Structure 1
Amino acid sequence: MSDQLKISAEKRSEFGKGAARRIRRAHKIPAVLYGHGTDPVHVTLPGHETLLALRHSNAVLTLDVEGDEHLALAKDVQRDPIKRSIEHVDLVIVLKGEKVTVDVAVHVEGEAAPETVVTLENNTLTVEAEATHIPASFVVSVEGLTAGTQIHADAVELPEGVTLVTDGEILVVNVTQAISEEALEAELAEAEAEAGIEHDEPEDEAAASDEAGEATASDEATGEEKSEEA
């Protein structure tokens, strides 16, 4: 379920890229708090505490904004694509008992039958849950499942109080027969042939072919010499 951590936030009046860079240099994070008909409040969050609190998606925080407390759901977390540090957070005010719609990750556990391949076709499910009771993830077991088995969204076990929003017919997990190495190579060769792809002859085979050609030419020359002598 969602973690509820208390974090102190400071209101900010500076905006724009320059202000955001200054905030990050101070090891803090710019954020905006909105929802329930209130005007957006731009705040600054402590960097380390926020990073720990937002380790998991759909984190719910108790936000202390200069003495005013709000229960807030981290709706959008923007990260640096390389450093993975948090650059900005959108926080939505929620109320205890209020239901929210969120995307929750799906994880697969267990070992399917031998010579099968397990594919996670959809790694999240959209559900409706109480803001303070959002599941951290859904677990789907594939233990012993045979090729041809398919698990759809409506077959995923949900905790009490959580309602599926995603179409129940959506395929989540697909168990298929593993293809043999020989069959895979044959399919690849056929696809390359259709695409007109030709491979250079390996050096050792090319050398052997050259040697064979030279030997044949030598034999023919020897034969011609013997014929002339005769």
Structure 2
Amino acid sequence: MVSKELVLKAEIRKENGKKHSARLRLQGKIPAVVYGHKQEPQSIVLDLHDFTEGLHHGHKLFDIEIGSNKEKLLVKEVQYDHLGKKIIHADLIRVDLSEKVEVSVPLVFKGTPAGASEGGILEEHLDSIEIECAVTEIPESIDVSVKGLKIDESLHVRDIALPAGVKLVTDPELLVIACSKPIEVAPVEEAAGAEEPTSPEVITERKPKEGEEEESEKKE
């Protein structure tokens, strides 16, 4: 499915610096920079909620209203906070609908692998790939079927079916996903030769013999 364009309003950013950026974030906004088409970079301010919602719904291409102007902008890079949850900055590039661009598109794995019935475990090695296509043909995601994967089988980038008009940029030999054998944990054996603790020897007083008994009585 091709990502649709979303209209967002932006403000021209008149101040720079970490303190100003922090104030913007407290107001539910984020700083962003627009590049491209041989124009000077432009600092703008976006609404955090609207921009985040757009990304979550697969939008990469935005119609941004900056004052009285409207530009088609493609998301180039997004920076998150140290927890990786909240967006703190974005880089956008100007695009023309007639040009082709390189973008990163997420992979969505579909189905249950055949090896799962034998205890096979899926190991993901790539969650996105780089492609080249027209600005208007950027897919939200690319589906990858794993139904036929048996244990010890894998899929590489070259195995992914691409939509029409999309050219692969990522190395086709890279491993995408594999169905591996479950790891067998050997049972822990008890230490060999463990002996039961022996009871301490009880020393008893020796009974005197008959002759010794009489001699002892005489001495008393």
TM range (shorter): 0.7 to 0.9
Contact kept, 8 Å, 1:127 with 1:162, in 2: the verdict is yes
For 1:9 and 1:67, the matched residues in 2 are separated by 10
Q: Which letter maps to 1:147?
A: I
Q: Which has the higher helix share?
A: 1
15-24 vs 155-164, which moves further: 15-24
> Once the 2 structures are TM-superposed, how far is the Cα of residue 217 of structure 1 from its aligned partner?
2.3
SS in 2 for 1:48: helix
Partner of 1:195: none
Give the match for residue 7 of structure 1. 8
**CA separation in 2, counterparts of 1:185 and 1:44?**
58
Kept in 1: contact 2:5–2:59 (CA 8 A):
no
Structure 1 gap segments, 5+ residues each: 190-200
Summarize the Cα distance change of 1:175–1:132 in structure 2 as closer, same or farther, 3 Å threshold: same
**Following the alignment from structure 1 to structure 2, what is the Cα–Cα distance between the partners of residues 119 and 54?**
26
- Alignment CA distance shift 1:149-1:217 (3 Å): same
- After TM superposition, give the deviation of residue 57 of structure 1 in Å: 6.1
1:179 & 1:86 partners in 2: Cα distance?
38
CA distance in 1 between partners of 2:165 and 2:47 (Å):
33
Matched residues in 2 for 1:50 and 1:35: separation? 20
Which residue of structure 1 lines up, in the alignment, with residue 136 of structure 2? Answer: 132
**Aligned AA for 2:99?**
E
Structure 2, unaligned runs of 5 or more: 209-220
After TM superposition, the runs of 4+ consecutive aligned structure 1 residues lying more than 3 A away are none
Larger radius of gyration: 2
Number of residues of Structure 1 aligned to a counterpart in Structure 2: 201
Question: Could you tell me how far 1:45 is from its partner in structure 2?
Answer: 1.2
One-letter code aligned to 2:61: V
Say whether the 8 Å CA contact 1:35–1:92 is kept in structure 2. Answer: yes
Q: Deviations over 1:176-202 (max 9, x none)?
A: 22233xxx236xx7xxxxxxxxxxx9x
1:74 Cα deviation (Å)? 1.1
Alignment root-mean-square deviation, CA: 2.6
CA-CA distance at 1:92 after TM superposition: 0.5
TM-score, normalized by length of structure 2? 0.81
1:153 maps to what in 2? 157
Q: How does 1:1-230 map to 2 (within 5 A)?
A: 1-55=2-56, 59-82=60-83, 84-112=85-113, 113=115, 114=117, 115-180=119-184, 184-185=185-186, 212-213=196-197, 216-218=198-200, 221-222=201-202, 225=204
SS in 2 for 1:19: helix
1:39 and 1:162 map into 2 onto residues whose CA distance is 30
8 Å contact from structure 1 (residues 58, 73) kept in 2:
no
Aligned equivalents of 1:109, 1:83: Cα separation in 2: 26
Cα distance in 2 for partners of 1:149, 1:81 equals 36
